[in-house]
Each structure stands twice: as C-alpha cells, then as structure tokens.
Structure 1
Amino acid sequence: MKFIKTALLVISLFSVGFAQNIKKVDAKIDKVTVFLQQAQLEKSVNTSLSAGITKLLVDDIANSIDANSILVEGKGDFTLLAVKYSANHLNNKVLVLQDSVVKVQADIENLEMLFAVAQNEEKMIMANANVKSEKDGLLPEDLKEMIDFFRVKLTEVGARRLQIQRQMQPLKDKKIRLEKQLAEVRNNSLPLGQIELTVSASKATPANIKLSYVAYNAGWSPNYDLRVKDIKSPVAIAYKASVYQNTGIDWSNVKLSLSTSNPAISGQKMELNPQFLSFYVAPVVYQRNVKANKMDMEAGFATEAPAAMADMATASRTVAVVETGMTVNFDLGSTYTINSGGQPEMVEVQTYSAEAEYKSVIAPKLDLNAYLVAELKNWEQYKLLSGEANVYFENKFIGKTFINEQGVDNILKLSLGKDMRIVGKREEIENFKARKTIGSNVRESFGYKISVRNTKSETVKVVLEDQVPVSQDSDIEVDVEDIQGGTVEANTGKITWVFEVPASQSKEVLLKYTVKYPKDKRINNL
C-alpha cells in the first residue's frame, strides 16, 4: 500500500510539472502589405506567460490563409516550440449572424404577443361599454363616470400599443439589415482560422509576439488621374490604388503598404528543353475508360514548424517609397479600414508633376482628326504600373486611356484624346496611279497627297503617320519612290513625318510607291 501511494504521488508531481496552460490572447491587425495578388497580415500579441508550457490561441485568422506562410517573431525570456493552424468552426460569421437573426426574431415575436394582448384588452373594454349602454335608466352622473372610465382605459391601452409599435419597427429594420449581411457573408462562408502557439518559459515573464501570414483573395490594381492644364504645362499624375479583400475578416484602422510584387506568379526560372525532331506518325484513335480519383479534403488542416525567436526592428514612417532590387513598396502614412467582401477602396498613393512634350499625332488614312499625345521621358522614376487612367484636359474630362509600362522605350506616350483643331486629308494622285504589265510581271504604282491643317492660334508639333505595304514573299517587291523626308520602319512599313505647322496654316507631303509581282498571281490586301 505504501508503494502505491508513493507512485501516485510521483505521477501527480510529474503531471503538475508538465501541465500545459491554454490561454486565448487578443491580437489586432497592425499592418497589411497588399500585393498585386494576395496580402500579408501582421498581428501583435502582448501577454504574460507563467512558468511551464503554454498554448496561446490566436483567433480571427483569415479563412484564405496560406498556412505555410506563417512567421512568428518575439521578445521575451521564452522559447517557441511549435506553430499550428486549424480552422475554427465555432468562430464563424455565418453562425454569429444567424444567432443574431434568431434573437431579433424572438424579440419581435414577444412584442407581437404583447401587441395582440393589448388589442384583445381593447376589444373587451369596448364590449363592456356596449353592455352598460344597454341598461335602462342610466343616470347622467353614471354616464359621465362611465365615459371617464373608458377614456382612461382606452388611452392606457392605446398608449401601450403605440409604444409596442415603436419598439417593434427598429427591430424589424435590424432584422432586414442582418439578413442582408448574412446573405452577403454566405458567399464567403468558410470558417475563420486559429493559430496555436506553443511556448515554454522557465519562469513567469512578459511576452511580445509578432506573427504574420499571407492570405489569398486580396490585392490591388493601379488607377490614375492625368490632368493637363494646357500644352505648356507639365502632366499632373495622381497615382491611386483600388484595394480589395475578401479574406473573411475586416481590416480596421490598419497601416497599409502596397507592394508591386505578385507572389501568385511563380518565380521559378524557365528552362529550355531539347527540341527533338522526328517523323510524323498518325495517331491511333482508341477509347478507354478513365476513372477519376476523388480526394477527400479535410475541413481543417494543421501545419507544425519551429520558428526561431528574433527581435524585430520597427520604424515609424509617414509616407515612404521603398525600392528593392525587384519590387517597390508604398508605405502609406494614414490608417485605412477595408471590410471583407465590400466594395474596393480607392487609396491615393502618390502625386507627380511630370515634364512632357506634347505632339499632335494624326493618321488621315484612319482618322481625319489628330490625337494629342504627351511624351514623358525617364518615366521609370515614377514607378508606374500598367493600368487605366482618367484624362482631364483644360479642366474637362476627356475620356480614358491606358498606361502600358511593359514597353522597353525610355519614352512613355500618354494619349490625351482627340485634338479636333488639327485636321488631315489624304487624296490619291490620279496621274501617278497606274498598272503596267512588263514581261511576266505586273507593276502597280500608288501615290497620295497628305495634308495637315492647324486651326489653332499657335504653332503645333505634328507627327504624321501613314504606311506602305510589306512583302512576305520574295516574288513581291515593294519599292518606296518618294516619302519627302519621312522615315520607314522596315518590318511594319509604317512611315512617320515630324514637323511643325504654324498657326492657321497647312503642311503637305507626298507618298509614292510601286508594287511588282507575277502577273499570273493575285495579291491579297493591296
């Protein structure tokens, strides 16, 4: 018996020495770094640890988390043993909203019952009044007493009914709002997550922990406002970002950083595989039955991995553009609130004043009016991404254009809309147009007179564009005879003239070329 008691005492002490504490901790979102696709959420935990092993439970983790992206850093005299993520089905917005709808409905039903009681009470009073009025020989003083009695009772019941109605209407409105919100949340009804941090401390100690993770269903896209006062002023570029998120949790008053990185795109370098040649063999047509394997996915999953403890250095910034070797981060100074599943939030990033050279570009073959184009040199310094832009010229909305940063030119061309006061004309030169057969070949000649008129009261710089056909066959020869100072792109046949047109004057150029081809063949697109 003594041996059994001693053994039980040892087991009890062993259990106490290695008991695990479970502690729920609050962790607010401090900062969100939004990539073009996905976002990194940073949370902070400030708590106290008792001696031994403690499991810290951090709730309200995005339901679109990439569980492999969890990073943990901390300050304090403790050791991080494990990190575990799992879905928390008890922390589901759908269930919370459903419970709220049920509670509001119960309150409405209770008021409806009280309203029905008041109605029946009023009916009983009126019925009693009819009985008394049918008595014969009712004295005047009795009649007055009866009227006063029923006035008091009916007023009391009527006031109670009115109060119940006033209490009921806000509840009905609240129920409608909750049902609408519930319908919206059902589209994103995945349960929120929970991160479990297992830590060990030799003694009681405070702990400052920072954890971060990457979540899907979030991102941003660039948007711009281009404002031009006149063709002598620089272009004012308002760089904006449309930020969206559907992570299942709201970002309330968080610091926001926008990154031009896109983790959704693989960073693996492409490899050139050998290009083997072989003779073509016609395939044999046959049929077979393919049975697909169906994998059962668990609703919750867990990953465990040790994380090294480290002190995290932080820096407070107002507005900063941080450029690394491959990406650019815009650290915004203000805090923002972006709700999950809501409309994208428009955020201002930067405002630039860019020196530009303005040209009127016209191609009368396609359009008799010119287009005003602003050319920005050294535009890379503005860190622009491809995106849609609203164009304002002389304080008027002109339309929309698109900024394409994928080009390799050092000049960014921004189309600012039609320049209606620069008009062009393209006419055939009849006495030059001819078709002759020489031996086995046909030679066709084409000639055009192209003119540009400036109806403005100031000189403008004009870029005139036209083209000559490009041969894709050695039997077809294109001979450019006259372009009067224009330049030709050999691969495209595009011809460009650049000149100035004085106020209220015109400029004229000639374009002449011939095409030679075998007379027994027909030419497409001539």
Structure 2
Amino acid sequence: MKNSLLLLLLIAFSNISTFAQKEVASKIKAVKVYQRQAQIQRVGSFTSSVGNQEIVLTGISTQIVPSSLQIDFDNQNTILLSAKYENNYLESNIQNKTAQALQKQLGELLDEQAMLIDKRNSLNGMLEILAKNQDLGGANAGFSPQQVVELSNVYEIKYLDIKKNLRTLEKQEQPLKVQVDNLRKQLNEVNAKFNKPSGNIILQVASTSANSIAIDCKYVVNNAGWNPHYDLRSKGITQNVQLSYNANIFQNTGVDWNDASIIVSTGNPSLNNNRPILNPLYAKVYNPNVLENEMRLEEVVVVATMGYSGKSKQNQETATVSENQLSVDYNILSRQTILSDGKENMVALKTYDMTTEYIYHTVPKLDKGVFLIARISDWTSYNLIPGKANIFFEGAFVGTTQINPKVISDSLSISMGLDNSIVVERTPIKEFTSSKLIGSNTKQTFGYDLIIKNKKSVPIKIEILDQLPISQNKVIQVELEEKGTAVYSEEKGELLWTWNVAGGQSKKERFIYNVKYPKNTEVTGIK
C-alpha cells in the first residue's frame, strides 16, 4: 500500500513542469514612432537548457500595451509557452541624466554651504570665549588699570572683526540657500517623473537542446509620438518652393532610447480599427403613442442586454521612404538618442523641390493688401499630414501657416506673405453710383474702378476678387451691367480677374451692377 502511494506521488510530481528563472539583459535596438504611440524592438540572448525555463527581461517601460507583445526566437528547438508583463516595484528605471546632473550640482552646493556653516560656528565659538572673559577688573584679576584698557581695546577690535565676518558669511549663505532650495524642488520634480517602477517581461520557454538563443521582442508603448513640422523656403518668385519635412519626436515612457534606429510612421495603432456598420433606415408614419411604447420597450431591452454583457523631387537623403498599404514609414538613416523627458526632438525626414506657380491675390473690398500665393501642384505625392509650417521668403522669416492636405483640391495654396511693392485701389465711380425711382421700384446702381500698380521690376500675375450681392428674395433683382475681363460666379456672387501686369506698369478695369427692389422697402447687403 505504501509503495503504491509513493509511486502515485512520483508520477504526479513528474507531470508538474518546473521553470528555472533567468534574468536576461536586453537593449532597445529600434523604435517605430507612430503619431501617438511607439513600437519598441528589444534584443537579447540567453543560453537555453533542456526542459523548461523562465526568462525575465528587465527594465521594461510601464507604459507598455501588454496585448501588443510579440516574441521571436532564432532557434526552432526552443518554443514559447507563454509571455506576460508585470510591474516591478522593487527596481526603478535607470536614473535619468537630468536628475544625475542636478544631484551632482546639489552636492557641490551643499558642500559649500556646510563650509560656510562651519566658519560661522567657529566665529560664534570665539564670541563665546570673549564673552566669558569680559570680567577683567575683579579683585582677584591681577590686572592693572592700564592693562584692562589695553585688553578692552583688543576685545573691541576682535569682537567687531568677528561680527563683520559673520555678516559676510550671512550674505554668502543667503543666495546659496535659495539655490539649494530651488535645486531640491527641481530634483523632486524630475524624480517624481522618472523614479517610477519599471517592468519585467516574463517568458516561459521549452527547449529540446542547449543552444544560444537570440530574442527579438516587440511591443507598443504609450506616452510617445511625433508631430509634423514644415519649413517652406523660397528664394523668389522664379524659384520653386523647397519643403523641409521634419518630425518632432517626443517620449515620456520612463526609458531612454539610446542610439536606436528610428522609423517615423504616419500610422496610428490607437485609432478605432472597427469599420462602421450601416444599418437599414426604416421610413414609417409618425405616431407619438407608438414611439413612446417603442422607447419603453427599448429601455427594457437595454437593461436586459446589460445584464448579459461580458466580454517631386528629392534634394536631401535624411531618411528612406516606404509606402505601405495603410501608412508611410520614414526610416531615419542616422541612429538617434531620444531621452524620456517629454521634450520634442526634431528629426529631418525629407526635403523636396515642389513644382510651384506663384500668383498674387487681393480682395480690395476687405483689405488693400496684396498677398503672394504659392500654388503647389501634385502635392498628394509628398505624403504630408496636417501640421504647422514656418515660411521663409527671399531669406526672411515671413510667418507661419497651417498645411492641411486633407482638403480636396488639385493644388495646395500657401500664403507666402504680404508684398508692399504692389498697390491696389478700389474706388467708387461717381457717375455710376446713384439711386432712382422707376415706377413702383427703387433702382440703385454701383460702380467701382479697380487699379493695380506694379512697382516691381519684374512682371507679375495677380488675382483680384470682388463680389456682387446675391438675392434671397424674388422681389430683389441684381443685374451685372459691366464686368470687364472678370469671370462671374452667379452662385457665389464672385467676380475674379486674373491679370498679367508688367514691371513698373499699371492696369485698370471697372465693374458696374444695379439692384432693383420695391420702393419703401429697406434692403441691406447690397454693397
């Protein structure tokens, strides 16, 4: 009976798999930075033993998305049984370099402060000695009056000297104390950000032979991403616009990315990947009583359901571009170090020469300024995403603009700034500005002269945009009498002139329209 029980226990224990745990050093090899997340690639190696093992990768960011974990081995004799992530509260991440620098600076100031305190204590000790020996003229002192006077003079000189030195030390200590307090506050702020628990990735593996195994580990982390930033530069209206496409990479994952290969991706794995489902739309006769009953029924159904719910041209090679089905990836050619401090690190992606047509644009009814517009054709081939752009024209900073490639248009228009060397005038024509009564109607006539003066030495192409009122009532009639070379959009009420004006020359045209409406009727928005 005892032998049978022993045999059963041996069989039971033989079926229980045991895992010998081994910590394995790993490092970040590459990072794929998405717009609001990043995929980390870690590499390491270990020597497998026959049977089961538990491999622990330490120093993992607590910002990991555990469901994104991927593990690959380079040896078919070792298989992965399970993989999981857990926080390690006993070991924080590697100390941040900023914190180390602050700690060193604080230590030096504390040493200096301690030296001043020692000097102050020494001087106060000397004051105590002087105070204990003030009684020089007692019966048993043995000093003559002359000696007492001399000792008093020495006491006075020494006392005043000590007090002077104490005041000097106090002046030195005060700013030092402020510096120490400020450094401590800064260090506490940095430590609060970086002295957080790290994480471990625990792998349970089984091997049929002892081998050196390389681990390739990938996972996604939060608190990282990038923002696009553009520089638009033009040397003049005869040159194409040069676009510098940059990525401002940031991360606050608690782990520095040291000397890593960086890929900047326009993808975003955090977006909802579920396609929208279009349900049938049923048309029916409105009945308030039926609707009320249906709403009550829906409320009952919802409660019941909740009970069961469970589960161009490229000028500079700073990155290579690969266009995938759902995103565009920029592989940065040089390795980068991105610290976990939340600060933006600018990385150049590409520089393009963009086929550009320059045209001036003005709306003199609203503003007599003339703006230079750069129109870029075939802009969709540059794989841009919405972002801020700095504009430089003829070597000067002009301002900023927003690039929004999501606008459906054949060309991308960018305002390069105001040009004061082109003058525009819009003046009423007196003989065509009148109001008359015709029968039971009032007829008002409006006329304007448009004048462009090109003070530049080179020819320009310019658009002038103006408008006519649009009637929203059949009793108000708008008639365009004269428009010159303008193209008229009746739907929008817009008049658009496109002129070529030679250097140093002027050009003039006019437009006239009238508005007719019943007399004694107040009409607005007609001029």
Structure-2-length-normalised TM-score: 0.75
Name the aligned partner's letter for residue 222 of structure 2: Y
CA displacement at 1:61 relative to structure 2: 2.5
C-alpha contact 1:360 1:422 (8 A) present in aligned 2: no
CA displacement at 1:80 relative to structure 2: 0.8
1:201 to 202, 207, 211: 207
In structure 1, what is the equivalent of residue 57 of structure 2?
58
C-alpha contact 2:258 2:338 (8 A) present in aligned 1: yes
* CA gap 1:402/1:13 in 2 versus in 1, 3 angstroms: closer
Are 1:493 and 2:493 matched, yes or no?
A: yes
CA displacement at 1:332 relative to structure 2: 0.5
2:261 to 255, 261, 276: 255
**Rounded Cα–Cα distance in structure 1 between residues aligned with 2:257 and 2:339:** 6
**Rounded Cα–Cα distance in structure 1 between residues aligned with 2:14 and 2:38:** 45
**Rounded Cα–Cα distance in structure 2 between residues aligned with 1:265 and 1:474:** 50
The percent of aligned pairs where both chains have the same amino acid is 31
**Rounded Cα–Cα distance in structure 1 between residues aligned with 2:444 and 2:49:** 95
CA displacement at 1:319 relative to structure 2: 3.0
What's the Cα RMSD here? 4.3
CA displacement at 1:118 relative to structure 2: 12
**Rounded Cα–Cα distance in structure 2 between residues aligned with 1:214 and 1:28:** 15
* CA gap 1:484/1:268 in 2 versus in 1, 3 angstroms: farther
**Rounded Cα–Cα distance in structure 2 between residues aligned with 1:177 and 1:74:** 47
SS of the residue aligned with 2:409? coil
Are 1:245 and 2:251 matched, yes or no?
A: yes
**Rounded Cα–Cα distance in structure 1 between residues aligned with 2:120 and 2:484:** 98
In structure 2, what is the equivalent of residue 297 of structure 1?
none
C-alpha contact 1:93 1:185 (8 A) present in aligned 2: no
In structure 2, what is the equivalent of residue 350 of structure 1?
350
The C-alpha deviation readout for 1:387-409, integer Å capped at 9, x for no partner, is 22111122111211222212222
In structure 1, what is the equivalent of residue 46 of structure 2?
47
The C-alpha deviation readout for 1:132-188, integer Å capped at 9, x for no partner, is xx999xxxxxxxxxxxxxxxxxxxxxxxxxxxx9xxx99x98996575243135357
In structure 2, what is the equivalent of residue 161 of structure 1?
none
In structure 2, what is the equivalent of residue 28 of structure 1?
27
* Higher deviation after alignment, 2-11 or 52-61: 2-11
**Rounded Cα–Cα distance in structure 2 between residues aligned with 1:393 and 1:464:** 22
In structure 1, what is the equivalent of residue 467 of structure 2?
467
SS of the residue aligned with 2:73? strand
In structure 1, what is the equivalent of residue 433 of structure 2?
433
The C-alpha deviation readout for 1:293-318, integer Å capped at 9, x for no partner, is xxxxxxxxxxxxxxxxxxxxxxxx98
**Rounded Cα–Cα distance in structure 1 between residues aligned with 2:443 and 2:277:** 49
CA displacement at 1:266 relative to structure 2: 2.4
**Rounded Cα–Cα distance in structure 2 between residues aligned with 1:275 and 1:422:** 60
Q: Map 1:439-450 onto structure 2 (within 5 A).
A: 441-450=441-450
Name the aligned partner's letter for residue 62 of structure 2: N
**Rounded Cα–Cα distance in structure 2 between residues aligned with 1:490 and 1:248:** 60
Name the aligned partner's letter for residue 495 of structure 1: L
CA displacement at 1:20 relative to structure 2: 0.6
* CA gap 1:489/1:197 in 2 versus in 1, 3 angstroms: farther
* CA gap 1:65/1:519 in 2 versus in 1, 3 angstroms: farther
**Rounded Cα–Cα distance in structure 2 between residues aligned with 1:9 and 1:108:** 65
**Rounded Cα–Cα distance in structure 1 between residues aligned with 2:318 and 2:180:** 40
**Rounded Cα–Cα distance in structure 2 between residues aligned with 1:462 and 1:318:** 37
CA displacement at 1:114 relative to structure 2: 13
**Rounded Cα–Cα distance in structure 1 between residues aligned with 2:180 and 2:73:** 43
C-alpha contact 1:371 1:415 (8 A) present in aligned 2: yes
C-alpha contact 1:319 1:331 (8 A) present in aligned 2: yes
In structure 1, what is the equivalent of residue 236 of structure 2?
230
Q: Map 1:232-381 onto structure 2 (within 5 A).
A: 232-273=238-279, 274=281, 276=283, 279=286, 319-381=319-381
SS of the residue aligned with 1:88? strand
C-alpha contact 1:94 1:186 (8 A) present in aligned 2: no
**Rounded Cα–Cα distance in structure 2 between residues aligned with 1:491 and 1:442:** 24
**Rounded Cα–Cα distance in structure 1 between residues aligned with 2:120 and 2:420:** 75
Name the aligned partner's letter for residue 221 of structure 2: A
SS of the residue aligned with 1:249? coil
**Rounded Cα–Cα distance in structure 1 between residues aligned with 2:375 and 2:437:** 47
In structure 2, what is the equivalent of residue 455 of structure 1?
455
In structure 2, what is the equivalent of residue 220 of structure 1?
226
Q: Map 1:384-399 onto structure 2 (within 5 A).
A: 384-399=384-399
CA displacement at 1:377 relative to structure 2: 1.6
CA displacement at 1:453 relative to structure 2: 0.6
C-alpha contact 2:95 2:194 (8 A) present in aligned 1: no
Structure-1-length-normalised TM-score: 0.75
In structure 1, what is the equivalent of residue 188 of structure 2?
182
**Rounded Cα–Cα distance in structure 1 between residues aligned with 2:95 and 2:390:** 43
**Rounded Cα–Cα distance in structure 1 between residues aligned with 2:269 and 2:93:** 28
**Rounded Cα–Cα distance in structure 2 between residues aligned with 1:3 and 1:115:** 80
**Rounded Cα–Cα distance in structure 2 between residues aligned with 1:8 and 1:281:** 74
Name the aligned partner's letter for residue 30 of structure 1: K
SS of the residue aligned with 1:399? strand
**Rounded Cα–Cα distance in structure 2 between residues aligned with 1:479 and 1:267:** 53
In structure 1, what is the equivalent of residue 89 of structure 2?
89
The C-alpha deviation readout for 1:318-354, integer Å capped at 9, x for no partner, is 8310012332111101122222233211111111122
Name the aligned partner's letter for residue 205 of structure 1: N
Q: Map 1:7-156 onto structure 2 (within 5 A).
A: 7=7, 10=10, 14=14, 18-76=17-75, 77-92=77-92
Which runs of no fewer than 5 residues in structure 2 stay unpaired? Answer: 143-171, 293-316
CA displacement at 1:371 relative to structure 2: 0.7
**Rounded Cα–Cα distance in structure 2 between residues aligned with 1:278 and 1:191:** 62
**Rounded Cα–Cα distance in structure 1 between residues aligned with 2:270 and 2:523:** 48
Name the aligned partner's letter for residue 407 of structure 1: V
* CA gap 1:95/1:348 in 2 versus in 1, 3 angstroms: closer
**Rounded Cα–Cα distance in structure 1 between residues aligned with 2:333 and 2:180:** 36
CA displacement at 1:192 relative to structure 2: 3.4
C-alpha contact 1:38 1:216 (8 A) present in aligned 2: yes
Q: Map 1:397-416 onto structure 2 (within 5 A).
A: 397-416=397-416
CA displacement at 1:198 relative to structure 2: 1.4
The C-alpha deviation readout for 1:65-123, integer Å capped at 9, x for no partner, is 2222222222112111112122222234599989x98xx99x979x9699869967995
CA displacement at 1:521 relative to structure 2: 5.1
SS of the residue aligned with 1:525? coil
C-alpha contact 2:59 2:93 (8 A) present in aligned 1: no
SS of the residue aligned with 1:91? strand
SS of the residue aligned with 2:222? strand
Which runs of no fewer than 5 residues in structure 1 stay unpaired? Answer: 137-164, 285-316
In structure 2, what is the equivalent of residue 305 of structure 1?
none
CA displacement at 1:446 relative to structure 2: 2.1
In structure 1, what is the equivalent of residue 304 of structure 2?
none
